Amino acid sequence: MTIPDPHTMADWLATDRAHVWHPYSALGADLPVYPVRSAHGVRICLADGRELIDGMASWWCAIHGYNHPVLNAAIASQLQDMAHVMFGGLTHRPAVELAGLLVELTPEPLQAVFFADSGSVAVEVAMKMALQYWQARGRSGKQRFITPRGGYHGDTLGAMSVCDPVTGMHGLFAGVLPKQLFVDTPGCAFGSLCTDGHMASLAAALEEHAHEAAALILEPIVQGAGGMRFYSPEYLRRARELCDRHEVLLIADEIATGFGRTGRLFACEHAAISPDILCLGKSLTGGYLTLAATLTTREIADTIRAVPPGVFMHGPTFMGNPLACAVALASVRLLLESPWQQRVQALESGLRSGLQACASFPHVSDVRVLGAIGVVELQEPVDMKIVPPLFVERGVWVRPFGRLVYLMPPYVIGTEDLATLTSVVTEVVGMQGKM
């Protein structure tokens, strides 16, 4: 293995610090950034020769690991035909086949597929669909969205408006965001009873605001980047019933949970419900290219079509990109052909046993596991200047946020690598209590 010249590496790291703006950071921030040379399987290979076991699946999307031959071949094959054509007035086989597969896999009422560029855009599309639907129904006053506190739906303007306004990441923009209707965070944990008391806040909001509410938007079962909370499927089932009773659409944001992460192909399956609009992204392409999809019912699509302007008013330039659709098709098929349920069950068992010791630390508030998600919640926020380097020094890649140290590894991770991940997390979390 050839190690890059350190002076050259230092030069381009200096350029990175001077000109590259990383997510949720300041330009030139004094935070560690690690140059990556390559990635294979569940390992990220740094430019200095070190290898890190990936505990994050690159923000939860690389479910098959890196450099998978099947996905590589799908990209290479599609590239021989075309990398991109506009989707306005044209179509192509990868998009059509992918749409057909998504319709087949999702609950029966979802029949229409709108491709977008990212998860945030998929949420924007879902919100615009709901607004245009009610306008087409002659109920233009239904313009607001109800959503539980503690949620996260993306970083674009509409998506930010339905993220938690207090504990979320977008408080700076509160003055310009649309004012949405927030209800209590689902208080019934996964596996526990969901009482009328747990539903009271949502029920009251729907009772009072149904006339102005276009939709309830939520992350089914798992509130992701807003706090990594797991809640009862009964809450979701009762939320579906309340939406039907009050004529409010239900939008399920499964960008993080879709394609097996919670142990079901889609998290809505835990409650045996179907949303009116479903958002998918992240692991849709197995982490290869950015692509998202918003699915809805034929009734919503036909209603939008039936009145002027007769079209849905959205159209990304790179919508339905052939490369992205081809690798997404390969990724979903690869997942379905694999023993993914057994892998996720094994991950759940390994995460549960491997992180259990963290629960005994006095500075840890909670340890929770669901499917291929393991979370250690601390009482105080993690110091991002100190903690990520501790993980890298021990040969793993874990990226905490706020008070949460969590793992969402690729499904293909082996038993030994998973044990190393959980052991290192336990060690580093234990060190936090002494700092």
Residue that is written with structure tokens 């293995």 in the block: 1
Compute the residue count for the chain. Answer: 435
Cβ 292 vs Cβ 284: under 8 Å: yes
Query: Residue 347: which of 57, 69, 119 has the closest Cα?
Result: 57
Query: Residue 396: which of 52, 108, 63 has the closest Cα?
Result: 52
Helix (H, G, I), strand (E, B) or coil at 311: coil
Helix (H, G, I), strand (E, B) or coil at 312: coil
Cβ 284 vs Cβ 331: under 8 Å: yes
- Beta strand 144-148 with 181-183: parallel, antiparallel or unpaired? parallel
The residues that are catalytic are 24, 152, 253, 282
Helix (H, G, I), strand (E, B) or coil at 44: strand
Query: Residue 44: which of 59, 27, 24, 25 has the closest Cα?
Result: 59
What's 284's DSSP letter? Answer: G
Residue that is written with structure tokens 């990109």 in the block: 321
Beta-sheet strands, E only, within 163-212: 181-183
CA-CA distance, 257 to 242, in Å (whole number)?
23
CA-CA distance, 3 to 103, in Å (whole number)?
47
DSSP string of 336-391?
A: HHTTHHHHHHHHHHHHHHHHGGGGGSTTEEEEEEETTEEEEEESS---TTTHHHHH
Q: Give the tokens for residue 415.
A: 């038993």
Cβ 236 vs Cβ 271: under 8 Å: yes
